[in-house]
């Protein structure tokens, strides 16, 4: 039973405390807070980006999104994290679960590569849930996060919708920073998800790796093969030091770049 995030054991991987929980526990007991899903790329951004680090520190839940992060937890802690909880699996499962749970769950989707992908994602989620769990959504224009008026319109639309769950899928670190910046202005929203490419996966705007690739920790490789120009620097340059840093942590030599003192 996991009534609150504060009651969950956490494993510190580099400078991120990752929750040791399971999808089944969360489906039954997740009611409020901010949910982020750390993967290798997030953990490397947390070494360089102070604003992203602050946003992550303010989150209530940090779910192990990556099989590689799951394996890394076993390198730095005993026992390791019990389960990978990929955001692209958990968020649709959450919506489907609450189609029949009897709880008042009303979701707003913010993201998607275009309105058509958003509409298809909404239709797919609601079809699986058996009711209109997703009550509204918006696919924002590129650069929306830098436009105060556009952000104001988004906040007003979420408020008008009556949603009490907001899923933001515009990529990291934008989605995490946007949630941190605007959550206080959305008192009717009790649960915030940062869902990455999930809306596009559901709506057909992007293709997700086959399950076998994910189980083998190769989802990153599948995305690299699909989008080599966009993903090559991320996976082959920016993220490669992760393994060295985990080894340093195992040896007691890792230092949080943003730790005070």
Sign (positive or negative) of CA dihedral 22, 26, 32, 34: positive
pLDDT at residue 4 in the model: 60
Count of CA atoms in the C-beta half-sphere (13 A) of 144:
23
Pair type for strands 33-36 and 191-194: parallel
Over 90: is that where the pLDDT of 168 sits?
yes
Over 50: is that where the pLDDT of 2 sits?
no
50-109 pLDDT per residue, tens: 999 999 999 999 999 999 999 999 999 999 999 999 999 999 999 999 999 889 999 999
- Token look-up 């394996």 returns 71
23-37 pLDDT per residue, tens: 999 999 999 999 999
107-161 pLDDT per residue, tens: 999 999 999 999 999 999 999 999 999 999 999 999 999 999 999 999 999 999 9
Q: Is residue 90 part of a domain?
A: no
Taking residues 194-215, report their average pLDDT.
88
Q: Is residue 94 part of a domain?
A: no
pLDDT at residue 6 in the model: 61
> 192, 208, 224 — which closes off a domain?
208
Verify that 170 and 202 share a domain, yes or no.
yes
Sign (positive or negative) of CA dihedral 127, 3, 11, 43: positive
Please tell me the total count of domains within the chain.
2
Q: Is residue 91 part of a domain?
A: no
Verify that 108 and 204 share a domain, yes or no.
yes
pLDDT at residue 260 in the model: 73
Label residue 220 by pLDDT band (50, 70, 90): confident
CATH number at residue 195: 3.40.50.2300
pTM: 0.93
Tokens standing for residue 228: 């080599």
Taking residues 153-176, report their average pLDDT.
98
Verify that 129 and 204 share a domain, yes or no.
yes
Tokens standing for residue 183: 């959550």
Give the Cα separation of 136 and 166 in Å (integer). Answer: 10
> 208, 227, 247 — which closes off a domain?
208
Give residue 50's domain range: 8-85+210-261
């Amino acid at each position: 039973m996991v009534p609150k995030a504060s009651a969950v054991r956490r494993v510190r991987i580099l400078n991120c405390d990752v929750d040791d929980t399971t999808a089944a526990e969360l489906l039954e007991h997740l009611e409020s807070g901010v949910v982020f899903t750390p993967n290798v790329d997030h953990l490397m951004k947390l070494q360089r980006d102070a604003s992203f680090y602050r946003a992550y520190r303010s989150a209530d839940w940090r779910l192990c999104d990556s099989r590689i992060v799951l394996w890394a937890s076993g390198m730095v802690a005993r026992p390791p994290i019990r389960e990978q909880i990929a955001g692209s699996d958990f968020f649709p499962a959450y919506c489907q679960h609450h189609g029949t749970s009897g709880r008042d769950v009303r979701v707003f989707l913010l993201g998607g590569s275009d309105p058509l992908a958003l509409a298809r994602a909404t239709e797919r989620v609601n079809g699986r849930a058996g009711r209109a769990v997703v009550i509204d959504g918006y696919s924002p224009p590129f650069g929306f996060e830098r436009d105060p008026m556009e952000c104001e319109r988004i906040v007003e639309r979420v408020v008008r919708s009556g949603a009490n769950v907001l899923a933001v899928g515009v990529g990291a670190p934008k989605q995490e920073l946007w949630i941190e910046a605007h959550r206080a202005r959305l008192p009717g929203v009790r649960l915030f998800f940062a869902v990455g490419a999930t809306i596009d996966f559901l709506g057909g705007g992007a293709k997700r790796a086959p399950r076998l690739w994910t189980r083998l920790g190769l989802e990153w490789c599948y995305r690299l093969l699909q989008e080599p120009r966009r993903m090559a620097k991320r996976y082959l340059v920016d993220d490669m030091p992760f393994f060295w840093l985990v080894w340093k942590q195992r040896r007691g030599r890792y230092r949080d770049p943003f730790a005070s003192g």
